[in-house]
Amino acid sequence: MLGEYFYNKTIRQSVAIFGTLFNQLQFRTVVGGQIKDIQRVPINYGPRERILARIDEEEKLEDRKIAIKLPRLSFEIDDISYDQTRQLNRLNKCVVQSDNGTTYSVIKEGVPFNLDFTLYIYARRQDEGLQILEQILPYFTPDYTVTAKNLDGSGIKTDIPITRTGISMPDEYEGDFQNVRDILIWTV
């Protein structure tokens, strides 16, 4: 259609980088001033509605061994948009020598796109959600920059700024008034 085939895995790598930022978060259960339990917060890629549907199914399951664990995180891509302000000359090329030194590859200048992610924090208790949120916020003032090596084998490293644009902390309750499920959801 538009020329020769290429696939640099940049969007895939960006999703992996974003998820990796949050995969070591923990929450603590404190009883009587003593730490009772420390647990890692699970994270997965997927829309908020999917997680809420899974939590809704949990209440109908008889086997609680396969129940979804809260608190948890999920994230998804909301938008991919071209960023004209970061566009460099499209004629720029980088020539990279192979490891054995016998062949060369030509890498064309990249096209800048912004990927808008949304991170969701799900918790049954407000304290659990706030513990998670407070582990995230100090790093985004409002940017956090990650340096990533391109997956094309060129060895070129790229700085990727991740910008927090806002936080929504409504206490959302799922279900009707009689059967309210207390699931607090923060959107970062």
- Mind listing the domains of the chain with CATH numbers? 10-82+112-151+163-187 (3.30.2000.40)
The CA distance from 40 to 49, in Å, is 23
Give per-residue pLDDT as tens, 74-131.
999 999 999 888 777 777 677 777 667 777 777 776 788 899 999 999 888 888 889 9
Burial (CB < 10 A; 0-12, 13-18, 19+), residue 31, is exposed
CA–CA separation, 47 vs 66, rounded Å?
20
Among 8, 176, 158, CA closest to 86: 158
Residue 71 contacts by C-beta under 8 Å, 6 or more apart in sequence? Answer: 27, 41, 121, 122, 123, 124, 128, 129, 132
**pTM, rounded to two decimals:** 0.77
